[in-house]
Amino acid sequence: MKGNEAIAEAAIRAGCRFFAGYPITPQNEIPEYMAKRLFEIGGSFIQAESEVSAINMVYGAAGTGTRSMTSSSSPGISLKQEGISYMAGAELPALVVNMVRAGPGLGGIQPAQGDYFQATKGGGHGDYRMVVFVPASVQEMIDLIRHEVFEIAERYRNPVMLLGDAILGQMMEPVTLPDPVDPKSLPQKTWATTGTGGTRKPNVINSLFLDPELCEKHNFRLQEKYRQMAEREVRVEELNMDDAEIVLTAYGTSARVAISAMKRARAEGLKVGMIRPITAWPFPGEPFRRAAERVRAFLDIEMSAGQMIEDVRLAVMDRAPIYFYNRMGGMVPTPKAVLEEIRKIDQMVKRDELGGRSGV
């Protein structure tokens, strides 16, 4: 199944019944699939007049308690940031998919990872956080959307982002589709604005607090929620870490390349392991902290100028050298090039261990 279509089908199987979006390459198969399927099963699809409008339609739909989503690619996500901040402020759950393309500006339609900062550090205004999933295969995207994304979004009443890229959206892989969930079987959302029905006081969905004391209280409460997310919602995969001396780290498409390089390096007898974040926020700092005590070096591989590496550095804290290899602008690193980097680092580390440490 094609990655983008798998995202759409997985969302429907997770009980998503509302989609609003605006065409942008390379994620158009998502709205196209939704346009066909959602009406068949009693949901709603809207091709909005803009990304800004689409995310605000999702805001309204999510406020009714309906599982809702939008999808876009980098420049479109920039436009959605206003709405994402409002959803975080008003505490509304929804799925926002970003199939990242090259930037900045209009950039190009090829895969890139330049939106990591925007996704994990709050691209919109105000102090907010959201769980950001960075899957590396079509099956993983399906499983996360079906079993994790909406559950987490609703548990914390917060938007959740799935950060993919053009390759993950366009590639085809064999997949197993999970059983669908019936939206009617989901727990009632007592906070939703569905009309009072004459049985309760009006519900209000809002992010405005004109009284600074109340606004601070709201902010402290939100931060406590983000703290709980950071504590409970970290997802990470560790590969070959038992005896690893050089640790690769990468997410999404570059993680797939890194895994291939790791396998080749192992075949050459190099003790290479890997830490693959599945959530970019909360960032899985703990495996890095553990590894930093004993490994000889880290190699961070990204399709950006080096964004996740800042989180890696915060976790490693100078306890081991960190090297960096990247491609940008729609170029994808090759396993061969990464293997070459591993060999170089192996030599450098050996040399440095004789005469002092270095790193990037």
Binding site for another protein (CB under 8 A): 17-18, 20, 44, 46, 48-50, 52-54, 56-64, 66, 68, 82-83, 86, 90, 193-198, 202-208
H/E element, 300: strand 297-302
Whether the bond into 282 is cis, omega within 30 of 0: yes
| Nearest of 39, 86, 69, 90 to residue 146 by alpha carbon | 69
- Give least dist CB 90 to another protein, A: 7
Q: Nearer to another protein by C-beta: 95 or 262? A: 95
DSSP 97-166: EEEEEE-STT-EEEE--TTHHHHHTTSSSSS----EE---SHHHHHHHIIIIIHHHHHHHT-EEEEEEEH
Tokens of 211: 């009284």
The minimum distance between CB 209 and another protein, in angstroms, equals 11
Task: Give me the least distance between CB of 70 and another protein, in Å please.
Answer: 10
Query: Shortest gap between Cβ of 215 and another protein (angstroms)?
Result: 14
Contact 252, 219 (CB under 8 A): no
The smaller minimum CB distance to another protein, of residues 210 and 267, is found at 210
Question: Which of 62, 322 has the CB closer to another protein?
Answer: 62
Query: Of 105 and 201, which has the nearer Cβ to another protein?
Result: 201
Contacts of 136 (CB under 8 A, 6+ apart): 168, 251, 252, 253, 255, 256, 276, 278
Residue 39 Cβ vs another protein, minimum distance, rounded to whole Å: 11
Count of C-beta atoms within a 10 Å radius of residue 26: 22
Given the complex with another protein, which of 26 and 63 has the nearer CB atom? 63
Nearer to another protein, 187 or 269 (CB): 187
Residue 192 to residue 349: CA distance in whole angstroms: 57
Task: Kindly report the backbone phi and psi dihedral angles of residue 272, in degrees, each rounded to the nearest multiple of 5, phi listed first.
Answer: -110, 130
CB of 150 to another protein, least distance (A): 15
